[in-house]
C-alpha cells in the first residue's frame, strides 16, 4: 500500500501534478538529491546511478519466475569489500538488514554456490554460534544445506540469496528482463538500497533498462524501507554482529596462510568409497592434505552435487571429525 507516499521529481520542469525539484543537468540533479536528503526534505531517493563508497552495496529485490516469490539478492551493485569472501559475509548482513526493514522478522539466508561460498558458510556459522542469529535456509536439492544452486534461486528457497555483486547484478538483470529480450526490465523492484555500516542515506538504484513497472515498484520499495527504519536497522544489526565477533572473523579471513614447514606424506593407498561433501572446490586439496597429516588416506573428486573428498568406509566418521576440527564444512554425501 503506497497511498501515503509523496513522490517528488528531481529534474527539468515538465507538465505534471507531482512536485518538482528543478535541476537541468545530471550533475545538478545529483546535487539536488543530496541536498534534499541532507535537509530531510525527502526520506529516500530512487536514481539510475550513484557513486557509493567502498563498503556500500545494494540489495536488489527480484521476483522468481513461475512462483512469484520475492527474493532479496545481496548484492547487485557497489562493493562491500575488495576481498570476495569478506564482501559476501557483509552482503549477508546487508540482505538480512534489508529483509528485516521490509517486515520479514527472521529472513532465511542462502549462499549461492560460487567460488568462496564454503568459506562464507564457515564464517557465518561462526558468527551464528557466537550469538548473531542467522536463519540458514535449506536447499531444495536432495543434499540440502544453505549453499544454493540455480534451481533454488528460481524457486526462492531462501528470502535472502547471498552472492558477489557482479553475479548479483547479472542475476538481477536476467530475472527482471528474461521475458523481454533483455533491453527492458519489466519485473522486480530494481537493484535496491545501498547498505553499509556507516552509510546513513536511503538511495535505491535502477538501471537505464528499468521499465515503468520496475520504477513504480522501486518507489514502493523505498517507501517501505523508510517505514521499516532501514538506517536504524543498519546500526542495530551491525552492533549485534560486532558483539558476536564479526571483526575477528573478518581479520582471520584476510590473514596470509602459513605454509607448512614439512611436506605431508601420503598414507598407504586404500579403497575409498566413503564420500564427504560440503567442501569448497578451492579448499578440496587442502582438505585432503589435512587428512593425510592425520594418516587418513583420502582423494579428491567430483560427486553429483559438487566437490567431494573420498575416504575408506572405516575412516569416514573419523575423517569428517578431523575436517570439522580444522574448520571445514564436512558432511557425509547423500546418495544421488
Q: How far apart are CA 109 and CA 162, in angstroms?
A: 7
User: Cβ(139)–Cβ(145) under 8 Å?
Assistant: yes
Q: Which of 313, 308, 300, 303 is nearest to 329 (CA)?
A: 308
Query: What CA dihedral angle connects 192, 193, 195 and 198, to 10 degrees?
Result: 170
Q: How far apart are CA 143 and CA 131, in angstroms?
A: 27
- Return the bridge partners of 61, or none: 72
Q: How far apart are CA 45 and CA 213, in angstroms?
A: 17
Q: Catalytic residues, which ones?
A: 304
Residue 307 CA from chain centroid, whole number: 22
* DSSP-H helix ranges across the chain: 26-39, 84-101, 117-129, 150-155, 165-177, 212-227, 230-243, 246-254, 284-293, 316-325
Q: How far apart are CA 326 and CA 46, in angstroms?
A: 46
List phi, psi (to 5°) of 171.
-65, -35
- The DSSP call for residue 210 is B
Q: How far is CA 180 from CA 24, 156, 175, 176, 224, in A?
A: 31, 21, 10, 9, 28
User: Cβ(188)–Cβ(175) under 8 Å?
Assistant: yes
- The DSSP call for residue 63 is E
Amino acid at each position: 500500500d503506497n497511498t501515503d507516499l509523496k513522490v517528488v521529481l528531481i529534474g527539468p520542469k515538465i507538465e505534471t501534478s507531482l512536485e518538482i525539484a528543478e535541476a537541468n543537468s545530471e550533475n545538478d540533479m545529483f546535487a539536488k538529491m543530496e541536498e534534499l536528503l541532507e535537509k530531510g526534505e525527502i526520506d529516500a531517493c530512487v536514481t539510475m546511478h550513484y557513486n557509493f563508497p567502498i563498503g556500500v552495496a545494494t540489495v536488489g529485490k527480484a521476483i522468481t519466475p513461475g512462483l512469484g516469490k520475492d527474493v532479496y539478492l545481496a548484492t547487485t551493485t557497489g562493493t562491500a569489500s575488495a576481498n570476495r569472501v569478506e564482501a559476501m559475509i557483509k552482503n549477508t548482513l546487508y540482505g538480512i538488514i534489508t529483509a528485516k526493514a521490509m517486515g520479514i522478522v527472521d529472513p532465511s539466508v542462502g549462499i549461492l554456490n560460487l567460488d568462496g561460498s564454503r568459506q562464507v558458510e564457515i564464517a557465518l556459522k561462526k558468527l551464528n554460534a557466537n550469538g548473531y542469529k542467522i536463519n540458514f535456509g535449506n536447499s531444495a536439492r536432495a543434499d540440502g544445506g544453505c549453499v544454493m544452486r540455480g534451481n533454488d534461486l528460481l524457486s526462492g528457497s531462501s528470502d535472502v540469496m547471498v552472492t558477489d555483486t557482479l553475479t548479483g547484478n547479472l542475476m538481477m538483470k536476467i530475472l527482471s528482463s528474461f521475458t523481454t529480450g533483455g533491453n527492458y526490465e519489466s519485473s522486480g523492484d530494481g537493484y535496491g538500497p545501498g547498505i553499509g555500516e556507516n552509510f546513513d542515506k536511503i538511495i535505491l538504484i535502477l538501471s537505464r533498462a528499468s521499465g515503468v513497472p520496475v520504477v513504480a515498484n522501486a518507489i514502493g520499495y523505498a517507501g517501505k524501507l523508510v517505514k521499516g527504519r532501514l538506517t536504524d536497522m543498519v546500526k542495530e544489526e551491525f552492533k549485534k554482529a560486532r558483539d558476536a565477533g564479526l571483526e575477528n572473523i573478518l581479520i582471520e579471513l584476510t590473514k596470509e596462510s602459513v605454509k607448512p614447514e614439512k611436506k605431508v606424506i601420503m598414507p598407504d593407498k586404500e579403497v575409498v568409497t566413503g564420500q564427504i561433501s560440503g567442501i569448497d572446490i578451492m579448499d578440496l586439496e587442502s582438505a585432503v592434505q589435512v587428512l593425510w597429516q592425520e594418516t587418513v588416506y583420502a582423494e579428491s573428486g567430483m560427486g553429483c552435487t559438487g566437490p567431494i573428498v573420498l575416504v575408506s568406509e572405516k575412516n569416514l566418521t573419523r575423517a569428517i571429525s578431523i575436517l570439522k576440527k580444522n574448520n571445514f564444512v564436512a558432511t557425509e554425501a547423500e546418495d544421488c
